[in-house]
Amino acid sequence: MLGLGLASGAYLALRQPKKQQADLRLWTFAKPHGEAYMEALPAFQRKHPEVSVDIQIVAWEAVTSRLQAAFWSGLDVPDLVEVEISEAGSFFRGRLESIGFLDLTERIHQTGLWERVVRARFAPYTTRGRIFGVPHDVHPVMLAYRRDLIEKLRIDVDKIQTWDDFVEVGRRVTEPGKRFMMELPTAEASRLEAMLFQRDGGYFDPQGRCIIDNETAVQTMMAYVPMVAGRYRIGSDLGGGQIFTRALEDGYFLFMIAPDWRTKLIEQDVPKVGGRMALMPVPAVQPGGRRTTTWGGTMIGITRKSPNPDLAWELIMHLYFNKEDLAKRFRDTNILPPARDLWDHPAYDEPRPFWSTQPLGRLYANLAPDVPFQYTSPFISLAKAKMSEALIACVQYYNRYGDRGFEGFVRRQLKVSAEEVRRVMRRNPYVTE
Amino acid sequence: MSRSEARRKRWRGEKIAPYLFVAPFIVLFLVFGAYPLVKSVILSFYITNGPSDPVFVGAENYRFLLTDPNFWKAVRNTAVYAFWSLALQIPLGLGLAILLNSSWVRGRNFLRLAFFSPNLVGQVFVGVLFSVLFVPQYGLVNKALHATIGTPLDTRWLAEPHLVMPALVMTSLWMYVGFQMVYFLAGLQSVDKELYEAARIDGANNWQQFLNVTLPSIRHVLVFVVLVSTIGSFQLFELPWVMLGRGPGPDSAGLTIIMYLYLNGYVAGDLGYASAVGWTLALGLLVISLIQLRMSGVWGGRRAG
């Protein structure tokens, strides 16, 4: 029976007709991206009538875990893949020549992208000085707020120039359990991270060294924690999805961190607040300082196994740098493209009724050149987890003891977290070689 | 062919036949069972980038494992989960079984199905369901607790490290208590009714009957359920993974040993280290199971009653 099973299995496997595959296959985890690319495809195919292109929208988990597994085991992979910014580093764990993506450094310089694109956006897709992805976006950050409630509370947003100003107003209007100045989590570090980037801090330096215990990180933690802990906290969070929708409708949060991509989610998920929302630049750390930061991002990479890397590169250029397509895509997604020369299209100046007729595109484009660098590492997930752990510990400490001994505690906690990351990094025999 | 020759052939056939019958299992076991096991032992002495670029490191993976605070956090979380799950599930499952084994309860069959039915759906479904129930401000759990005992509406069960484990234990209680109940019901139904009669004649009250008749009679079932539940608890993965948004949760409060293994093997890509974690878990489970069997007297100790 076993023999019969093996024989019939082998027969079927050998007889299986070879699947007809497109010349170029692209995976994206974001449905809006996939839909936009499908719309942009006919123009590419008019230039290359002999080339077939297959754009597949794949679950986030598949992009990360299945693609990684396929790279490792030499299985069939698409020609092009979009990867979320926080996952990109995990593909850079091995030796440079073992990375599943093609090194695009030379192409980026030769085609002028290095000059056109906001420079900071290459950093998350760079390891050991080599660039493995083209950035899809800039994702500058503003603060979105309930304009109607802010006006009712007589808050003048123009007078909020720094985080100190913001906290001062927040303490006046926050009523714990009923209304908070801002949506700020205490158990995960995404907003803390945005504030860390604003101060030119981060998880790793350009050389890939862990820096979550440097002075910038300490100062950021010391500024963030009193906003979410203790008697005078002004921030809280409830979670995402439907609960966020409800909280925003109810006026539970007045302000929230809003990168360009999130404004579209707010428009789609909370239509009830349309016309009652507005945007303002992020308060600066010091007067005259940077009024933005960054949150989120996507890269596109060409897989090393792609038989058509030149064609794949042409498709990237078509999808990511075609001015007219990108202007339309901006209207659909609110996502600002990464090349500065694309932002002079009238689409970016259109007033948006949802955002109290503010020209959403221009507001973000004005801030985009100032978006901070964020460097990555194969250990980025671990560093993020350790930063979140440190945040939780600091919040617990502050709730218990307040300012007493807080600075020393923050320093010790971040040191412990950073040492844990470094300890794991020392084990990696590939990156240090 | 002579008669002796035919007999010899038949004898040879009879001798070979059993091997042929077990051959499919042996072959499949060797390919899909023994080979991966042996391979994982070998892998546990390497650092790898996925399955490629293995670098031999000797016992370094085991040394690192034993000094890794994250591993010990995973062990502690898993042990706490296992303890509370067993401490609540076993008595509750047994209580329900006794209740639904009583002739005076109406609609017993329906209730048995109702209590068992959460077990018919997978952990992923239950995880999604409970992550909605535990939502702060608007979730059913918070609303019910706020209405009954006045806890804050914005209690963040899945975002506060000290509340993550109670949330997981509550969820697993809902999911598995019916499963334990079914085993106990089967055990209770096999208890000889005459033993109760004899006990009653001797003047035993209900509690004494439970202690001296019911418990000793279902001891094997009890040991089995405790063993299976312990092993199941130590293999916990999907429930926290789904409830905590595909991760270990705040402060790694939902990090279990299997999740730790998964994160190292399939996210970080170090299959060698993940193999070391797997073997350490297997050895740990073996020791715990042997201790449980020994303490219950089923193995190596007192004879089962």
Strand partners, A358: A352
Same domain assignment for residues A323 and A202: no
Report how many domains make up chain A: 2
Residue B56 in any domain: the answer is no
| A32, A160: one domain | no
Q: Does A420 touch chain B (CB under 8 A)?
A: yes
Are A276 and A314 within one domain? no
Closest CA of chain A from B251, distance in Å = 5
* Distance in angstroms (rounded) separating the CA atoms of residues A421 and A217: 15
How many C-beta neighbours within 10 Å does residue A142 have?
26
B290 Cβ partners below 8 Å, 6+ apart? B299
* CA quadruple A425, A426, A432, A433: dihedral sign: negative
A163 and A110, same domain (yes or no): no
Same domain assignment for residues B30 and B102: no
* A274 shares its domain with A378: yes
Query: A57 and chain B: CB distance < 8 Å anywhere?
Result: no
Arithmetic mean of pLDDT, B7-25: 83
List pLDDT tens digits, range B89-141.
999 999 999 999 888 888 888 988 898 888 888 889 999 999 989 988 888 99
Flag whether B259 is in a domain.
yes
- Checking if the pLDDT of B197 tops 80, the result is yes
What is the residue range of B142's domain?
61-296
**A175: three-class secondary structure by DSSP:** strand
d(C-alpha B256, C-alpha B74), whole Å: 5
Q: Both B217 and B150 in a single domain?
A: yes
Q: Quick one: A157 and A99 in the same domain?
A: no
Contact list, B159 vs chain A (CB under 8 Å): 185-188, 237, 239
Convert the pLDDT of each residue in A44-86 to its tens digit.
999 999 999 999 999 887 777 788 888 888 888 999 999 999 8
Q: How confident is the model at residue B305, as a pLDDT?
A: 38
Measured distance CA(A85)–CA(A193) in Å, rounded:
13
Interchain pair A239, B159: CB under 8 A: yes
Q: How far apart are CA A78 and CA B150, in angstroms?
A: 55
Q: How far is CA A399 from CA A58, A184, A229, in A?
A: 42, 16, 6
Planar angle of CA B281, B286, B287, nearest 5 degrees: 100
Beta carbons of A83 and A91 less than 8 angstroms apart: yes
Residue-level length of chain A: 433
**Inter-chain CB pairs, A–B, below 8 Å:** 95
Of the residues B49, B146, B270, the best mutation for testing chain A's interface (the one with the most A CB atoms within 10 Å of its CB) is B49
Rg of chain A (C-alpha set):
24
Residue B42 within any structural domain of the chain = no
Q: Do B52 and A238 touch (CB under 8 A)?
A: no
* Domain at B178, CATH number: 1.10.3720.10
B161 and B82 part of one domain: yes
* Inter-chain CB proximity A388 and B50 less than 8 Å: no
**Domain membership flag for residue A3:** no
Q: Are residues B27 and B74 in the same domain?
A: no
Residues of B with Cβ-Cβ distance to A420 under 8 angstroms: 69-70
Domain that holds residue A74: 18-135+296-356
Q: How far apart are CA B230 and CA B246, in angstroms?
A: 23
Residue A421 lies in a domain: yes
Q: Which residues make beta-bridge pairs with A302?
A: A80
Q: Which residues of B fall within a CB distance of 8 Å from A243?
A: 135-138
Q: Which residues of B touch A (CB under 8 A)?
A: 23-24, 27-28, 47, 49-53, 55, 60, 64, 69-70, 135-138, 152-154, 156, 158-161, 246-248, 250-252, 266-269
Q: Is residue A6 part of a domain?
A: no
Q: Do A94 and B70 touch (CB under 8 A)?
A: no
CB proximity A93 to B under 8 Å = yes
Percent of chain B scoring above 90 in pLDDT: 54
Q: B85-96: per-residue pLDDT in tens?
A: 999 999 999 999
- Is A69 in CB contact (< 8 Å) with chain B? yes
Do A385 and B252 count as a contact with CB atoms less than 8 A apart?
A: yes
Same domain, B192 and B274: yes
- By C-alpha distance, the chain A residue nearest B133 is A243
Same domain as B19, residue B122:
no
Collect all residues of chain B within an 8 Å Cβ-Cβ radius of residue A382.
Answer: 268
Say whether both A54 and A112 belong to one domain.
yes
With respect to residue A33, please indicate whether it lies within any of the assigned structural domains. yes
Same domain assignment for residues A283 and A205 = yes
In a domain, A394, yes or no: yes
Task: Tell me: do B2 and B108 sit in the same domain.
Answer: no
Question: B31 with B149, same domain?
Answer: no
Instruction: Name the band, by pLDDT with cuts 50, 70 and 90, for residue B236.
Output: very high
Residue A186 lies in a domain: yes
Probe site for chain A from B46, B251, B263 (most A CB atoms < 10 A): B251
pLDDT category, B303, cuts 50, 70, 90? very low
Residue B30 pLDDT grade (very low, low, confident, very high; cuts 50, 70, 90): very high
Does A95 sit within 8 Å of B154, measured CB to CB? no
Which two structure tokens, joined as six digits, stand for B145? 């607790």
Q: Do residue B26 and residue B109 come from a single domain?
A: no
B137 contacts on A by Cβ (under 8 Å)? 238, 243, 246-247, 252
Q: Name the residue among B50, B252, B267 with its Cβ closest to that of A72.
A: B50
Evaluate whether residue B261 is within a structural domain: yes
Phi-psi region of A357 (alpha: psi -120 to 50; beta: other; left: phi over 0): left
DSSP character for A64?
I
The single-letter code of the amino acid at B24 is: P
The answer, yes or no, to whether residue B177 has pLDDT greater than 80, is yes
Q: Which two tokens stand for residue A75?
A: 């299985």
Interface test mutation site (partner B, options A99, A184, A243, max chain B beta carbons within 10 A): A243
> Does B109 map to a domain?
yes
A140: β partners? A294
Which of B49, B137, B268 lies nearest to residue A430, judging by beta carbons?
A: B49
Please report the pLDDT score of residue A433 as a whole number.
Answer: 42
Residue A428 sits at the chain B interface (C-beta within 8 Å) = yes
Shared domain check, B86 and B25: no
Out of B138, B251, B268, name the one closest to residue A392 (CB): B251
Residues 6+ apart with CB under 8 A from A132: A88, A91, A92, A99, A101, A102, A103, A104, A125, A126, A299, A301
Strand partners, A352: A358
From B26's Cα to the closest Cα of chain A, the distance in A is: 11
How buried is residue A11: exposed, middle or buried, by Cβ count under 10 Å (0-12/13-18/19+)?
A: exposed
Q: How many CB atoms lie within 10 A of CB A383?
A: 26
What is the C-alpha radius of gyration for chain B, rounded to an integer number of angstroms?
Answer: 25
Average pLDDT over residues B29-46: 94
Asked if the structure places residue B48 within a domain, the reply is no
Q: Do B50 and A69 touch (CB under 8 A)?
A: yes
Residue A246 with chain B: CB contacts under 8 Å: 137-138
CB < 8 Å to B136, chain A: 238-239, 243
Taking CB atoms and an 8 Å cutoff, what residues of chain B touch A429?
Answer: 47, 55
Q: Domain total for chain B?
A: 2
CATH number for position A280:
3.40.190.10
* Chain B environment of A93 (Cβ under 8 Å): 49, 268-269
Q: Say yes or no: B27 and B167 in one domain.
A: no
Q: Using the beta-carbon criterion (under 8 Å), do B159 and A186 form an inter-chain contact?
A: yes
Helix B271-296 / helix B60-67 crossing angle, nearest 10 deg: 70
Sheet holding A53-57, edge to edge: A53-57, A24-28, A80-84, A298-302, A134-135
B26 and B125 assigned to the same domain: no
Using a CB-CB distance cutoff of 8 angstroms, which residues of chain A are in contact with residue B55?
429
Same domain, A270 and A312: no
Residues of A whose CB is below 8 A from B70: 420
* A388 vs B64, B136, B250: nearest CB: B250
pLDDT mean over B55-71: 93
> What's the pLDDT at A205?
94
- A250 and A303 housed in the same domain: no
What's the gap in Å between the CA of B71 and the closest CA on chain A? 12
Facing residue for B135 by CB, picked from A2, A90, A239: A239
**Cβ A162 vs Cβ A283: under 8 Å:** yes
- The DSSP secondary structure of B205-271, one letter per residue, reads -HHHHIIIIIHHHTHHHHHHHHHHHHHHHHT--HHHHHHTTSS--GGGTT--HHHHHHIIIIIS-BH
pLDDT for the residue numbered A19: 57
How far, in whole angstroms, is CA A432 from its chain's centroid?
27
Which pairing describes strands A126-127 and A80-84: parallel, antiparallel, or unpaired? Answer: unpaired
ipTM above 0.85, yes or no: no
CB contact under 8 A, B64 and A427: yes
Q: Specify if B85 maps to a domain.
A: yes
User: Chain B residue closest to A431 (CA)?
Assistant: B49
Burial of A137 (C-beta count, 10 Å sphere; 0-12/13-18/19+)? buried
pLDDT at B304: 41
- Tell me: do A164 and A254 sit in the same domain: yes
Residue ranges in A241-350 assigned as alpha helix (H): 241-250, 260-269, 309-321, 323-333
What distances in angstroms separate CA B297 from CA B89, B102, B177, B211, B300, one per listed residue? 22, 29, 25, 17, 7
> Mean pLDDT of residues grouped by 10 in chain A (433 residues)?
68 63 89 90 91 91 82 88 92 88 96 96 94 97 97 95 97 92 90 97 94 97 96 88 87 96 94 96 96 96 94 96 93 94 96 97 97 93 90 93 96 95 88 57
Same domain, A158 and A264: yes
Domain final residue pick, A356, A384, A403: A356
The reported pLDDT for the residue numbered B88 is: 94
